[in-house]
Amino acid sequence: MRTAERLETLYLDFDGFFASVMQQAIPRLRGRPVGVIPFDTEAVTSMTVIACSREAKRHGVKNVMRVPEARQLCPDLVLVPQRPDLFRRAHLALMNEIECEIPIDAVMSIDELTCTLDTAASMDPRGLARRIKQRLRHNLGQYITCSIGFAANRLLAKIACKVNKPDGVTIWPPGDMPGPLFDQPLSAIPGVGPRMEKRLARRGIVTMAGLWNTQPRQLRAIWGNVHGERMWYALHGYVLQAEPVRRSLYGHGRVLPPEWRDLEKARGCSRLLLVKAARRMRRDGFYARRLFLWINGYDDGWGGECALASVHDDHACLAGLETLWVRARASLPPSYKIIRCGVTLYDLTPDNARQTGLFEQDDAERRKWERLTAAMDELNLSHGRRVVTLGAWTPPPGGYAGGKIAYTRIPSAEDFL
């Protein structure tokens, strides 16, 4: 671990990514307040604005705001259903343009990335930022803008990146620190939300300067793990090696349209979500030993899990899901209204380290279903659509079940089959 003597990291964040991509793709939306909703439905009052344009934000509209509240703040708000396939293509095009100027070190999410600066780039950060912005504007359009931060390491560059949004550039040379950092609230640090701010306040830490003047062991104790200590070093300009990320689960969730909020239709949706999650898991070479089903109603919810015999085929996963639905029906009234449902495969094992239990023989029946599932995957992939499934395949209205954009995951083309 060492302290940086020059700018070493660029952090880039696209401004209002989902809404700006929609504005670039659909001319009638340009310059207008736009709110992106999960899917097209007549019952928009039951929807949430999952992303909004800068024009909408000027009226006080925020991401993850109920539609009635957003329309009260901005009566002219234009609601458009999400287009995950379009967002994925836009993401890939943007990454390609940026890599023409500088290699991308890591894609942090659908709308954020980080790059390592060489000596030449660190000497002229504004020039690099200008070239990136000009390339995006010239080749992809003027409505998708980005904000860029430069600093000694990834954490400081990410904090800097948020300072002059939208379409800004913020440069924090190591020699100027920590002055610019002290102007930011504690909430500017990724992962510091209201609960953590209260925990810090109980220790007498209410400003960025107060946090900076602590000791590593103090933050480790407050966070309860090594992340607090690592954050202390990052805030002090140390260059840290990124921690390896280990895949821990595969899952999908879905908000159900009003006409799909009964138990049977939610079950059908969860089957579709599980098959898509299992397919992703197989592509990455993992098996799962646990399955979790979750259901959210208006005021409460239900969740249950079951053990799996280290599997990845559709037959075994769906059998586990049926077991959970038997338990869900026994716990919930027949008239229960389901707003959201989802599935999670976890307790993963890489395919080169798979082990079954003492009484779980990897027998001919298991191998048969795995071969059948592999054949189904090949057929569906080669035909570019869902031509063969185990049981009914009826996506809920609005589409994109299992293919929606999560901020931390960019779907592959196969997720839209």
- Residue 243 pLDDT grade (very low, low, confident, very high; cuts 50, 70, 90): low
Tokens standing for 335?
């008239």
Residue 283 near residue 351 (C-beta atoms within 8 A): no
Average pLDDT over residues 217-225: 93
Q: Which helix (H) or strand (E) holds 358?
A: none
Tally of helices (H runs) and strands (E runs) in the chain: 15, 16
pLDDT at 258: 83
Distance, CA of 313 to chain centre: 25
Between 1 and 320, the more confident residue is 320
pLDDT in tens, 272-301: 999 999 999 999 999 999 999 999 988 889
pLDDT at residue 235 greater than cutoff 70:
yes
pLDDT at 353 over 60: yes
pLDDT of the residue at 411: 62
Does residue 112 have an active-site annotation? yes
Report the mean per-residue pLDDT for the chain.
89
Q: How much is the pLDDT for 416?
A: 57
Please tell me the predicted confidence (pLDDT) of residue 245. Answer: 64
Mean pLDDT of the 114-138 span: 96
Q: C-alpha distances in angstroms, 396 versus 50, 401, 411, 417?
A: 19, 7, 19, 14
Are 293 and 325 a contacting pair, CB within 8 Å? yes
Would you state the pLDDT for residue 379? 85
Tokens of 282: 């197989």
68 pLDDT band, cuts 50/70/90, is very high
Residue 107 neighbours by CB distance under 10 Å: 14
What does the alpha-carbon distance between residue 250 and residue 269 come to, in Å, rounded to a whole number?
16
Q: How far apart are CA 16 and CA 58, in angstroms?
A: 12
pLDDT at 109 over 80: yes
pLDDT exceeds 70 at position 49: yes
In the predicted model, what is the mean pLDDT of residues 217-228? 93
Residue 165 confidence class, pLDDT cut points 50, 70, 90: very high
pLDDT tens-digit series, residues 355-395: 655 555 567 787 888 888 988 888 888 876 677 888 878 88
Mean pLDDT over 207-222 rounds to 95
Per mean pLDDT, which range of 74-78, 120-124, 388-392 is the poorest? 388-392
Measured in whole angstroms, the distance separating CA 23 from the mean position of its chain's CA atoms is 21
Contacts of 368 (CB under 8 A, 6+ apart): none
Using CA of residue 212, residue 213, residue 219, residue 220, what is the dihedral sign? positive
Domains delineated in the chain: 8-173 (3.30.70.270), 178-245 (1.10.150.20), 249-416 (3.30.1490.100)
Strands 34-37 and 78-81: parallel
40-44, 47-51, 86-90: least confident range:
40-44
Look at residue 403 and tell me whether its pLDDT is greater than 70: no
CA atoms within 13 Å, Cβ hemisphere of 367: 4
Query: What torsion do the CA atoms of 271, 277, 279, 284 make, to the nearest 10 degrees?
Result: -160
Please state, in angstroms and rounded to a whole number, the distance separating the CA atoms of residues 154 and 158: 6
Cα–Cα distances (Å) from 339 to 114, 296, 321, in that order, read 36, 6, 19
Set 112, 243, 305, 365: catalytic member: 112
Q: Place 44 in a pLDDT band, splitting at 50, 70 and 90.
A: confident
With a cut of 90, say whether residue 254 has pLDDT above it. no
- % of the chain beyond a pLDDT of 90: 70
Confidence of residue 187 (pLDDT cuts 50, 70, 90): very high
Helices 314-331 & 364-383, crossing angle to 10 degrees?
100
Phi–psi pair at 349, nearest 5 degrees: -130, 130
Contact 153, 9 (CB under 8 A): yes
Tell the residue number behind the tokens 């500017």, with chain if given: 188
